[in-house]
Amino acid sequence: MCDRALPGERFIGRVTRKKNNYAEVTKLKTLSPHTDIVEAPCEYALHCGGCRTQNLLYEAQVKAKEEQVRDLVIHVGKFSYKDPEFDNMMKPIVPCDMQFHYTNKMEFSFGPKRWLPKEQLLERSEDADVEPANKVLAAVQDCWKNPELEFTPI
């Protein structure tokens, strides 16, 4: 498992954690990029991890997700691809009409220093201007304290 690596991409990585049946890897250098690589429309996509394949052509994203589900069904679900019912069970992923702006979960972090991508943390500036973060925090707190905004479970 390698964060920030696209399916089929060749890269040099460092194992950061070993488990019984898998390893976690940090990508250090791309050797050959994916053939369907595109520029991600969100400037933070490669850093935040929320849209892990946003820099991949949408059709390639759908194909990669389908392969990921198939692998999970086989390896985690212990289904056999040789089982005659397997192909009936595995249906193709239906592409979404809306490729972006679909997320239903966001996490925001606040701190005394500005946010930096992991790669730039070593070059960390000593900015300690907390005023912009405090303004955002106050706006979020005002919003969730608003009695007109009510949580409705699905």
CA distance 94 to 67: 13
Residue 3: closest CA among 42, 41, 32, 45? 45
- Given a contact cutoff of 8 angstroms between Cβ atoms, the answer to whether 116 and 122 are in contact is no
Q: Is 16 helix (H, G, I), strand (E, B) or coil?
A: strand
pLDDT 10s digit of each residue in the chain, 154 long?
887 888 889 999 999 999 888 899 988 999 999 999 999 888 777 777 677 788 899 999 999 989 989 888 888 888 888 888 887 888 888 998 888 776 666 666 666 677 777 667 766 555 545 677 678 778 877 777 777 766 666 5
DSSP letter assigned to residue 121? G
Residue 56: closest CA among 84, 30, 36, 73? 36
Backbone φ, ψ for residue 34 (5° rounding): -60, 145
Identify the bridge partners of residue 56 per DSSP, sorted by sequence position. Answer: 37
